[in-house]
A and B are shown apart, each in its own frame.
Chain A
Amino acid sequence: DADVTQTPRNRITKTGKRIMLECSQTKGHDRMYWYRQDPGLGLRLIYYSFDVKDINKGEISDGYSVSRQAQAKFSLSLESAIPNQTALYFCATSDGDRNNEQFFGPGTRLTVL
């Protein structure tokens, strides 16, 4: 969905490096989410934010941090990347109504060597 963009789309980095993945949306949604996808494990929630002042840990937040710079921007950081953080990372948004349908970005493929 072009309304949710992620940069970079691909990144290769080395163990110990700091990495930031960025997500922007033009849907006007309050809620934003970061997931990682691993083969056979589906999508797992890392962090989520229901508005600019609200940040919450998901099920696998260790080793990650986030920043909600504005309603439209939600960044995910790996302070010191490790190889088992190699995965496909997705950002998603929702408008918080009763439906909670989430709209996904194109993903960032991160490889940590």
Chain B
Amino acid sequence: AQSVSQHNHHVILSEAASLELGCNYSYGGTVNLFWYVQYPGQHLQLLLKYFSGDPLVKGIKGFEAEFIKSKFSFNLRKPSVQWSDTAEYFCAVNEGYGGATNKLIFGTGTLLAVQP
């Protein structure tokens, strides 16, 4: 079965620090990759997604992620975080086009706290 690992469970940063959150998945075939964000008290919102093409994907609010197929990774980055980035971040994977189930598998989440 597919699995998604987010190694950083809780990250604390100061404003303006750089951010990188790790995500690794287990599926060896074609994948679609997502990062969702959940701000305090809110529902999940899509931050960015990768389906094909340029492995460096840019999302909303200055976030980007790089798909490295050889490492089964899709790490999320932001050069300079803001207090408003305090949230929980979820990586998710599903089998690519033609996959049997097209279900999303989520990681356990990384809670980011940005200190002003």
Contacts and interface: CB of A to CB of B under 8 A. Distances in A.
A58 B102 CA distance: 12
Contacts of A45: 103-104
A43 B90 contact: yes
Secondary structure call for the B interface: loop
A90 B44 contact: yes
Interface stretch (A69-77, A78-86, A92-100): A92-100
Nearest to B96: A98
29 contacts: A1-B43, A1-B45, A33-B104, A35-B106, A40-B9, A40-B108, A40-B109, A42-B90, A42-B107, A42-B108, A42-B109, A45-B103, A45-B104, A58-B103, A90-B43, A90-B44, A94-B102, A96-B102, A98-B97, A100-B32, A100-B102, A100-B104, A101-B46, A101-B49, A102-B104, A103-B46, A104-B43, A104-B44, A104-B45
Interface of A: 1, 31, 33, 35, 40-45, 48, 58, 90, 92, 94, 96, 98-107
Contacts of B32: 98-100
B42 interface: yes
B83 interface: no
A102 to B, nearest CB: 6
